[in-house]
Structure 1
Amino acid sequence: MTYAARPSVELLHGEARQVDPHAPFVIVMNAGSGRKRGEITADLLKHAFGRANRTYELLLVDDPSQLAATAQRAVELAVARGGAVVGAGGDGTLCAVAQAAIGSGCTFGVLPCGTFNYFSRDHGIPADTEQAIALLLTARAHPVQVGYVNDRMFLVNASLGLYPKMLEHREIYKRQFGRSRIVALCSAIAMLMRRHRHLRLHVDHEGTMQEIRTSTLFVANNRLQLEQVGAAEAPLLAQGLLVALAPRAIGRLAQIVLSLRGAISRMSDADNVTGFGFRRFTVTHPSKRRRRVKIAMDGEVMKMPMPLEFRVGETPLYLLKPEADVAALNRT
Structure 2
Amino acid sequence: MPPCLSHQHSKLFIVFNVRSGRGRAQAVRATIARVCAENGRDYQLFEIGRAGRLAAQIREAVDAARAASGIVVAAGGDGTINAVAQAVMGSGCAMGLLPQGTFNYFSRTHAIPTDTEEALSLLLRARPVPVQAGLVNERVFLVNASLGLYARVLEEREVYKSRYGRSRWVALWAALVTAMRRHPGWDLRIEWRGEERIVRTTTLFVGNNALQLEQVGMPRPEAVEQGELTAIALKPVGRLAMFRLMVHGALSRLGEADEVMHASFRAMTVSAARPGRRRAKVATDGEVQPMAMPLHFRVAPEPLWLIKPAPGEDGSEDARR
**TM superposition score category, shorter chain reference:** over 0.9
Per the alignment, in what secondary structure is the counterpart of residue 314 of structure 2? Answer: helix
Give me the TM-score of the superposition, normalised by structure 1: 0.92
Residue number in structure 2 paired with 1:5: none
The farther-off stretch of 114-123 and 19-28 is 19-28
Pairing 1:199–2:186 present: yes
Which residue, out of 231, 235, 239, partners 1:244? 231
Q: How far does residue 19 in structure 1 lie from its aligned partner after superposition?
A: 4.2
Per the alignment, in what secondary structure is the counterpart of residue 293 of structure 1? Answer: strand
Gaps of 5+ in 2: none
Q: What is the total number of aligned residue pairs between the two structures?
A: 318
Which residue, out of 28, 34, 38, partners 1:47? 34
Pairing 1:144–2:131 present: yes
Counterparts of 1:310-321 in structure 2, within 5 Å, are 310-321=297-308
CA distance in 2, matches of 1:316, 1:92: 19
> Does structure 1 retain, via aligned residues, the 8 Å contact 2:21–2:76?
no
Q: How far does residue 62 in structure 1 lie from its aligned partner after superposition?
A: 1.3
Residue number in structure 2 paired with 1:82: 69
Counterparts of 1:154-233 in structure 2, within 5 Å, are 154-233=141-220
> Does structure 2 retain, via aligned residues, the 8 Å contact 1:233–1:275?
no
Letter in 2 for 1:110: L
CA distance in 2, matches of 1:220, 1:108: 21
Pairing 1:331–2:320 present: yes
Q: How far does residue 151 in structure 1 lie from its aligned partner after superposition?
A: 1.4
Residue number in structure 2 paired with 1:29: 16
CA distance in 1, matches of 2:122, 2:89: 20
Q: How far does residue 89 in structure 1 lie from its aligned partner after superposition?
A: 0.3
Letter in 2 for 1:278: F
CA distance in 1, matches of 2:274, 2:253: 35
CA distance in 2, matches of 1:236, 1:89: 27
Pairing 1:291–2:278 present: yes
| Deviation readout 1:177-231 (Å, 9 max, x if unpaired) | 1111111111111112211111110001122110001111000000000011010
CA distance in 2, matches of 1:35, 1:147: 29
Pairing 1:58–2:84 present: no
| Deviation readout 1:235-265 (Å, 9 max, x if unpaired) | 2112100000011222221111111100110
Q: How far does residue 34 in structure 1 lie from its aligned partner after superposition?
A: 4.8
Structure 1 residues 19, 132: CA separation in 2 closer, same or farther (over 3 Å shift)?
A: farther
Pairing 1:96–2:83 present: yes
> Does structure 2 retain, via aligned residues, the 8 Å contact 1:86–1:110?
yes
Per the alignment, in what secondary structure is the counterpart of residue 142 of structure 1? Answer: strand
CA distance in 2, matches of 1:94, 1:196: 30
CA distance in 2, matches of 1:196, 1:268: 21
Pairing 1:69–2:48 present: no
Which residue, out of 231, 255, 259, partners 1:272? 259
CA distance in 2, matches of 1:293, 1:18: 37
Identity of aligned residues (%): 48
Gaps of 5+ in 1: 1-13
Q: How far does residue 233 in structure 1 lie from its aligned partner after superposition?
A: 2.9
> Does structure 2 retain, via aligned residues, the 8 Å contact 1:90–1:117?
yes
CA distance in 2, matches of 1:266, 1:34: 30
Q: How far does residue 291 in structure 1 lie from its aligned partner after superposition?
A: 1.2
Residue number in structure 2 paired with 1:106: 93
CA distance in 2, matches of 1:204, 1:59: 42
RMSD: 1.7
CA distance in 1, matches of 2:170, 2:65: 37
Q: How far does residue 66 in structure 1 lie from its aligned partner after superposition?
A: 1.7
Per the alignment, in what secondary structure is the counterpart of residue 97 of structure 1? Answer: helix
> Does structure 2 retain, via aligned residues, the 8 Å contact 1:237–1:243?
yes
